[in-house]
Structure 1
Amino acid sequence: MRDLPDDETWIADRRRAIGARIREERIRQNLTQDQVWQAARIDRRTLQYVEAGQEVKLSTLLRIAHVLDVPLPDLMG
Structure 2
Amino acid sequence: MVLLEFLNMGGGEIMLILVVVLLLFGGKKLPELARGLGKGIREFKDASEGVKREIHRNINSVDEEKPAATNTEEQKAS
TM-score > 0.5, shorter chain as reference: no
Which of the pair has the greater relative contact order for Cα pairs under 8 Å at 6+ separation? 1
Report the TM-score when normalising by structure 2.
0.32
Greater gyration radius: 2
Greater fraction of residues in helix: 2
Report the TM-score when normalising by structure 1.
0.32
